[in-house]
Structure 1
């Protein structure tokens, strides 16, 4: 099944990121991925960490696979009515050139010592039992933009299996990737693992974009 990136303009995101100052394209034929250091300021990271801590709940997964320890992190849903959150959201949308209407609400994650999110992809598996529930209105996920908010004392890297690369947390660093192949089908080579934190704590925010508009209230 192929998905349409032209509705949101996500088909132009790679070229936009390639021309972004400081951005580096990961040299892999298996996925389209970019790294941007220090995209968020120290003040922005601190403000996001504060808001995540106030909103944390146990993280969940779609299509439960029977492994209770598959995702053990905390999730904090960030309130778009908060002007600070709105400003961060707008900054990420401008970065990838996709209108806010095509993005999910901004979400934060916190990983304490020993917590992880085992190998997974961000797209909704077309054969999954919850596929229709998650895609009937806004369609498939296209681009993911994730930002690390702090330096982790030990562990906490993100391993991407396709390019066989571990991205280490650095405050404000962006990792952005397309969950789809150039032909519009889902890309299993975007499989990634949020590795266990061995010392300290890790904070990230994630912005997922969709094929069609999100039902903003």
Structure 2
């Protein structure tokens, strides 16, 4: 909104107590970088009982956007919005329950919220229930019906997963939620150490093919040119990195992605809340990430960043496909490359056992010579990045 008169009118309506105007004004203030002002206006809209404002307010309080974080207050507001049937509130309530973000991890609650979102027509929720119920051994006809409904609504991962022809009708989403196994992916296979110094391990079969397909298809529309951390502590596009990436933050997540996040944390041996958002990398033939390290350089420009967020101590990569040639993760100083099978993870420490950054981890994302490469990238920090439940 750039029209000054329209903005003035919006301000007058918000000051007059119009909750819809308050929510719209808060969004505008946020776009202007005035997070604290936006939070105050949004709080007024939330206090009036407007569910969509309540959900947005809850998210900001949960993560500390515009004011210090208050996870308990934020989670309570999100749940209240979900109970009122707000679509964003339902999605976020499912995410925070599945990830244990500001609330105790509760897969049953997450699935309950997910079923309610599906009943309100959310195709992403419908698809997740269909996929997870099918993988859990639930009714295959009912699961495929859900996937068909989500596919008809235009949700790309469902189009990839549905088995035609599907039998149309009304899916029983509560039944599908009840059929989902909370331990969906099964036990994690023991890691194989492929290098002692730096410590590099391979975990086989960490994610099943259907989950790999879901992540790739979900990520594709949001891909953009990848950036690197520069000497000033910011991020910029550099020619050393020509691949594309999308990062799924809290607001972009869903129940299935949170289950994947939890599994990746367990495989890495570090708390899931210490991880940065799930990144999905795409390398077209010839694209690469030239030799680099994943740890944050300990420079004056990065001092505040490291103090707040901690060092990137461990990297986990999951190869999501295998229909390409080339594309190894090459450790330059070791003169060794690794390319685990589809769904398997490559995990390496970016610091030595005494916590010092390790230059031996200099590595390269080699370009595919044919086809395209898809990889999950997960960086684990020495400090938590997400709010955890109060003890």
TM-score normalized by the length of structure 1: 0.82
1:96 maps to 2:268:
yes
Residues 117 and 194 in structure 1, CA contact (< 8 A), matched pair in contact too: yes
Equivalent-residue separation in structure 1 for 2:286 and 2:348 (angstroms): 26
Aligned partners of 1:147 and 1:172 also within 8 Å: yes
Q: Which has the higher relative contact order, 1 or 2, with Cα contacts under 8 A spaced 6 or more apart?
A: 1
Aligned to 2:313: 142
Structure 1 residues 50-104: Cα deviation after superposition (integer angstroms, max 9, x where no partner):
1120221110001169994200000111254311111110111122332222111
Q: Distance in 2 between matches of 1:45 and 1:87?
A: 13
Q: Is the 1:52–1:110 Cα contact (8 Å) retained in structure 2?
A: no
Paired with 1:50 and 1:216, the residues of 2 have a C-alpha distance of 28
Q: Which has the higher helix share?
A: 2
Residue correspondence of structure 1 range 57-206 to structure 2 within 5 A: 57-63=224-230, 68-80=238-250, 81-127=253-299, 130-206=301-377
Distance 2:378 2:237 in 1: 25
1:163 Cα deviation (Å)?
3.1
More strand by share: 1
Q: Which 10-residue stretch deviates more, 47-56 or 92-101?
A: 92-101
Q: Aligned equivalents of 2:384 and 2:249: distance in 1?
A: 19
Match of 1:21 in 2: 189
Residues 137 and 64 (structure 1 numbering): CA distance in 2 closer, same or farther, change over 3 Å?
closer
Q: Where do 5+ consecutive residues of structure 1 fail to align?
A: 1-19
Equivalent position of 2:129 in the other structure: none
- After superposition, the Cα gap between the structure-2 partners of 1:67 and 1:78, relative to the gap in structure 1 and judged at 3 Å, is closer
Question: What is the root-mean-square deviation of aligned Cα atoms in Å?
Answer: 2.2
Q: For the residues of structure 2 that align with 1:183 and 1:130, how far apart are their CA atoms?
A: 23
Correspondence for 1:47: 214
Where in structure 2 are there 5+ consecutive unaligned residues? Answer: 1-187
Q: Confirm or deny: 8 A CA contact 1:122 1:144 kept in the other structure.
A: yes
8 Å CA contact retained: 1:36, 1:175: yes
Post-superposition Cα deviations, 1:138-193, rounded to whole Å, max 9, x if no partner, equal 11111111100001422111101243211125211200011101121000001110
Change in 2 beyond 3 A, CA 1:113/1:40: same
Q: Distance in 2 between matches of 1:130 and 1:197?
A: 34
Equivalent residues of 1:31, 1:178 under 8 A apart: yes
Name the TM-score, length of structure 2 as normaliser: 0.47
Maintained 8 Å contact 1:150/1:169 = no
SS of the residue 1:124 aligns to: coil
